[in-house]
Structure 1
Amino acid sequence: KDGIDTASYAGAIDLIRQMLHLDPEKRISAKKALQHEYMSTYIENCNTQAFEENFVKDWISLKKRLTKSSDEIKEKERGIKRKAMLMAAASTNSTATADDALYDMGDILGVGEAKKPKV
């Protein structure tokens, strides 16, 4: 319906339907499933240069996406650690004075701000 050629997937749908049959007696065996027309066609297509190129492109794309999300997680963790270190420095900083804005970490981190009462 959405521009997908369902005729090209008819073999796959038929195979899946046979594999998922509720009655075990009517369900397709593993041996017969591997001999199904769809599987034979799929195996033949796997040996083409175009299939191999698409496989490699998909693999590289997946690897990049996983690496990117892993890097984002590491960056977030670094930010949390950085904030924790700044908060620790603010609470133990003995050189800070009320007039010294250079060491006033409370302004940066929002520590010690009066909270608004909830209505």
Structure 2
Amino acid sequence: MKNTKIFAMPFASVYPLYVQKVEKKGRTKEEVDEIIYWLTGYDEATLQRQLENNVDFETFFEQAPQMNSNARLIKGVICGYRVEEIEDKLMQQIRWLDKLADELAKGKKMEKILRK
């Protein structure tokens, strides 16, 4: 799974796609933000700053205040790969976020998505 192009992709260009995906299924931007906050430790102000600064995925995850220790509980298949088996740390973090957005779009309850 060597797709380093995604590492350089601006997070701000993908964020609206997460929002669009979940809104089509009746979920909200606020819920997307909630899963990002949970996973990365960003809050509203720091997430907004990252979006305004147009940081790439690599920088977004490098500067994350605190990756959630329960992120390792995220399991399943995304883009044909089992997220728990992805060896590249950054790619796994990106796919964790993808998986959380998928679960949100599929109507899972927030408490399950956030592994509570």
TM-score (norm 1): 0.20
- Name the structure where helix makes up a greater proportion of residues: 1
TM-score (norm 2): 0.20
- Radius of gyration: which is bigger? 1
